[in-house]
Amino acid sequence: MPKLGSCNVFLRATFGIDPGAEIGRQLGELATQVQVMRGQEVQTDPADTTLVFLASGATKLGAQASRERHQIVAFHFGGDIFTVPAVSMHRYMLIGLCESTLTTFPARQFYDRAASNPWIMRALLERSQTALFRCRDKAVNLGQKSAGERVAGFLLAMWERLDASEGPSPMIDLPMSRGDIGESLGLKIETVSRQFTKLREAGIIDTHGRSGVSLLDLPRLAEQAGYYDRNTVPPRPEWVERKPELVP
Amino acid sequence: MPKLGSCNVFLRATFGIDPGAEIGRQLGELATQVQVMRGQEVQTDPADTTLVFLASGATKLGAQASRERHQIVAFHFGGDIFTVPAVSMHRYMLIGLCESTLTTFPARQFYDRAASNPWIMRALLERSQTALFRCRDKAVNLGQKSAGERVAGFLLAMWERLDASEGPSPMIDLPMSRGDIGESLGLKIETVSRQFTKLREAGIIDTHGRSGVSLLDLPRLAEQAGYYDRNTVPPRPEWVERKPELVP
DNA sequence: GGGCGACATTGATTTGGGTCAAAGACCCGG
DNA sequence: CCGGGTCTTTGACCCAAATCAATGTCGCCC
């Protein structure tokens, strides 16, 4: 069964499932192996949610708001598991940032067959919550933060998710263009560029070519990102008027 | 066991579980019944995700970005099931929009005990995906849409989620203030107000007091919301450069 | 290694939404 | 039914980011 090559990896690595087992075989039947190059779209079912395992590479998940407006709702890297929604209010597109290998499944059928296995459902639930968590964080950034804060926060997030060279000033290699960063942060490409320049002139980062970024001063970068420090900043009074009562 | 009163409803209505059964009893042990009034915060565990079943009423889930900046990441209404994240980058707060009755569970423990029941896990997974879906939609709106589009889209979303009076011009009763709407849409209260005025002057809506809104012209409201129409608007060419190849 | 096309940076100008300020409307309790 | 506080609306002005417009540079392919 050569088709199941990378699906094996998926089932074993993520869920600890033996692909030779009955459940492994049943899920394997639903798998589609796909390889994309930079800029290529992964074909997903417009009528149903698609479950994706990204074996290697990096992708962007974008939504089309109108002809000229795209919002990248998530970046994904090797090992990530996520879903691509069916078409609804917005059309979603999954596109490679570099050469990537992935396995796709029709979500509903996958869930039907996997329902009996608590390990798989638990893993999927936790992945889904991680995605939701990241998305809420993005909503906070898009709704409340300035351009400078968004770019600083983006660099910190990429530092956490990408492999960074160790040391006091780690260096990361961004697989996405300035345009992609802008579409992810709700900013125009020129604004992203200007914020990079500001951070460079402040000595907080340094850039190498188009994709290399050295994070020279992480504490100051975090400061620029403007994250709420619950140790120093109390909640706004009108948000906590009175304590609720437990029902006896 | 009076404490389990509304928990019964939760387990039975959502998962079809008999609370008298072993699993029902085990989950019931984890439940906390809470009642909040308008403006009160629901206390959640800062150290772990909280699973919430909103029996009746309405709530807002907000994140604190800094002292003066809040972003509402979701509104919830009776019957909704959702999670409140543990404290991380941002502090999350669940607050009543009106008198509300809800049941909370420590998420990790709930999952541990429910893992063996495929129905529950499946239901939770699907609720989680719905929340993720809504959050992505919010990210698109916050990142790419104008103030007018956001407000129109908000009214449409509330029309779908709230009970609206039937007829050609349905009327909805918003449980949240203009300030809440602004914090949800990433706009200031004055901007929200101005957009309401614009829609009223255009004859698309009418307002009654602080909370009543008549949707006089739904098609035009949908037009104002600026949703991508996949029937008329093709994808941007540079987003679909080449077709990917299936791995043989 | 040189040339070309795409990507990135920089500068000048515009503008949508924010900010500041004040007046008006709703709604609750007395 | 009236008073007062809160929420909402409206107006004048300002600023951060978008837009428009070059110029510069990277990196890929020949």
Output phi, psi for A182, to 5 deg: -60, -45
pLDDT confidence bin for A6, thresholds 50/70/90: low
CA distances from B141 to A69, A72, A94, A143, B127 (A): 11, 12, 19, 9, 21
Q: Is B66 on the interface with A (CB under 8 A)?
A: yes
| Domain residue limits, chain A | 2-143, 145-225
CA gap B217, B238 in Å, rounded: 36
Q: Is A160 on the interface with B (CB under 8 A)?
A: no
Residue bearing the bigger pLDDT, B47 or B243:
B47
- As a rounded value in angstroms, the CA-to-C1' distance for A66 and C29 is 50
- Dihedral of the alpha carbons of B65, B68, B69, B75, in degrees to the nearest 10: 100
CA-based radius of gyration for chain A = 21
Best mutation target, B4, B48, B81, B121, to test chain A (most A CBs within 10 A) = B121
Alpha carbon distance, N-terminus to C-terminus of chain B:
60
CA gap B14, B52 in Å, rounded: 12
- As a rounded value in angstroms, the CA-to-C1' distance for B37 and D5 is 20
pLDDT confidence bin for B228, thresholds 50/70/90: low
Q: Is B64 on the interface with A (CB under 8 A)?
A: yes
Identify protein residues whose C-beta is within 7 angstroms of any atom in strand D.
Answer: A 146-148, 186-188, 190-191, 209-211; B 177-179, 189-190, 192-194, 196-197, 207, 210
The 10s digit of each residue's pLDDT in B12-30 is 767 777 666 788 888 889 9
pLDDT confidence bin for A119, thresholds 50/70/90: confident
Give the list of residues 6+ apart from residue A21 with CB closer than 8 angstroms, or none: none
pLDDT confidence bin for A38, thresholds 50/70/90: very high
Say whether A228 and B89 touch across the interface (CB within 8 A).
Answer: yes
**Quick one: what percent of chain B has pLDDT higher than 70?**
85
pLDDT of res. B116: 87
CA gap A176, A63 in Å, rounded: 16
Q: Is the pLDDT of residue A247 over 70?
A: no
Helix/strand/coil for A190: helix
Say whether B145 and A243 touch across the interface (CB within 8 A).
Answer: no
- As a rounded value in angstroms, the CA-to-C1' distance for B188 and C17 is 8
Provide, as residue numbers in chain A, all residues whose Cβ is less than 8 Å from the Cβ of B248.
2
B50-76 average pLDDT score: 95
Q: Is the pLDDT of residue B9 over 90?
A: no
Residue B193, CB-side half-sphere exposure with 13 Å CA sphere: 7
Helix/strand/coil for A91: strand
B34-51 average pLDDT score: 94
- The per-residue pLDDT of chain B, averaged, comes to 87
What are residue B63's DSSP bridge partners? B71, B92
Give the list of residues 6+ apart from residue A218 with CB closer than 8 angstroms, or none: A156, A159, A170
**Quick one: what percent of chain A has pLDDT higher than 70?**
85
- As a rounded value in angstroms, the CA-to-C1' distance for B70 and C27 is 27
- Alpha-carbon gap: B79 to the closest alpha carbon of chain A (Å): 18
Q: Is the pLDDT of residue A151 over 70?
A: yes
- As a rounded value in angstroms, the CA-to-C1' distance for B148 and C21 is 24
Looking up tokens 């709420």 gives A228
The 10s digit of each residue's pLDDT in B88-115 is 888 999 999 999 999 999 999 999 999 9
Q: What's the fold here for domain B2-143? A: Jelly Rolls (2.60.120)
The 10s digit of each residue's pLDDT in A99-114 is 999 999 999 999 999 9
What are residue B41's DSSP bridge partners? B95
B60-80 average pLDDT score: 94
Domain B145-225 grouped into CATH 1.10.357.10: no
Say whether B185 and A143 touch across the interface (CB within 8 A).
Answer: yes
- The per-residue pLDDT of chain A, averaged, comes to 87
A147-156 average pLDDT score: 98
pLDDT of res. A164: 80
pLDDT confidence bin for B231, thresholds 50/70/90: very low
B64-84 average pLDDT score: 94
Provide, as residue numbers in chain A, all residues whose Cβ is less than 8 Å from the Cβ of B33.
246-247
Q: Which of residues 80-139 of B touch A (CB under 8 A)?
A: 83, 85, 87-91, 93, 95-96, 101, 111, 115-116, 118, 121-122, 124-125, 128-129, 131-133, 135-139
**What type of residue is B41?**
E
Say whether A33 and B246 touch across the interface (CB within 8 A).
Answer: yes
User: What distance separates the 2 farthest-apart alpha carbons in chain A?
Assistant: 64
Residue bearing the bigger pLDDT, A6 or B179:
B179
The 10s digit of each residue's pLDDT in A40-97 is 999 999 999 999 999 999 999 999 998 889 999 999 999 999 999 998 889 999 999 9
Concatenated DSSP letters of B57-87: SEEEEEEEEETTEEEEEEEEETT-EEEEPPS
pLDDT of res. A2: 39
The 10s digit of each residue's pLDDT in B127-175 is 999 999 999 999 999 999 999 999 999 999 999 999 877 777 899 999 9
Element (H, E) at B100: strand B100-106
